Amino acid sequence: INEHQSGQRIDNFLVKNLKGVPKSHVYRLLRSGQVRVNSGRKKPHYKLQTGDVLRIPPVRVSENNNETVPDSIINLLKDAVLYEDEGIIAINKPSGIAVHKGSGLRFGVIEAFRQIMPEQPLELVHRLDRETSGCLLLAKNRQILAQLHELLRHEKTVHIEKTYLALLHGDWTQGKYFADDRTTIDIGISKVKRSGEHMMQADAEGDSAISHFELIEAFNSEGIPPCSLMKITIETGRTHQIRVHSQYSGHPVIGDSKYGNKAANKLFRELGLNRLFLHARRLYLPLADPITIEAPLSDELEQLLKKLRA
């Protein structure tokens, strides 16, 4: 066990490294003593230490877990790297690529980078929706992962600042939340099931969620539905938070098939927008040496803004 692997619970380490082996079998191996640390048995909650020698018995791994990420995706993500040092990698995640596999997806960003850097113990620092583009952080070791997770806690005075750009349906200046400076939407979010689909909704009794909206530019072009380019910062990180708060404001995100306006989305598809217009533009990391990471908009989003300004 090297220094990057130390500090992990042995059960979590085994589940992560024995891809395709059911969790129940991993725990059976631990209970029966077939897994040994320094020649001795250990409980599942034992935390591995640098220098430990771990013996794992032969196990059968499902073949379908050995699928590789296509070269086209590998090359796309290599080109998307914005920043890298000894502790982190920051990428400009393309829209349409999930951050990890699951729910019928064979791979995501983290699986791709583990294929690119097989010797590096990479972990996701945070998540973005599959259709959201922009700044995404990966940690190269557990120490920096723990440090960044601490900075993601918004109740702390010093925390990671996330700034998004979104194109919202309707003229924000005519809406109930328009103000001279930024507007705060502070309403909880809870999960519901509608027509067999899990969704999030604004709910005063839900988990606390706070988003700050600031108008950048309002568009009222002839023949195009009115829309507003917004800068949005979030104080909490609830699932679909910006999308739900935008819907609650009466101005859903353009291109949002789950919470958006279907008629407006159809018109914007005709203008060439085939994705959600939500982009994680900027991350500020208040480390010992602070880091600011900015992700440029994709050509598709830039071209749409040009059309709106024409």
- Which among 234, 84, 74 is positioned nearest to 159, based on CA atoms? 234
Degrees to nearest 5, angle at CA 300 with 256 and 267:
50
CA distance 226 to 264: 9
Q: Name the active-site residue from 71, 129, 171, 203.
A: 129
CA 225 centroid distance within chain:
29
Please indicate whether residue 171 is annotated as part of the active site.
no
Which residues belong to the active site? 129
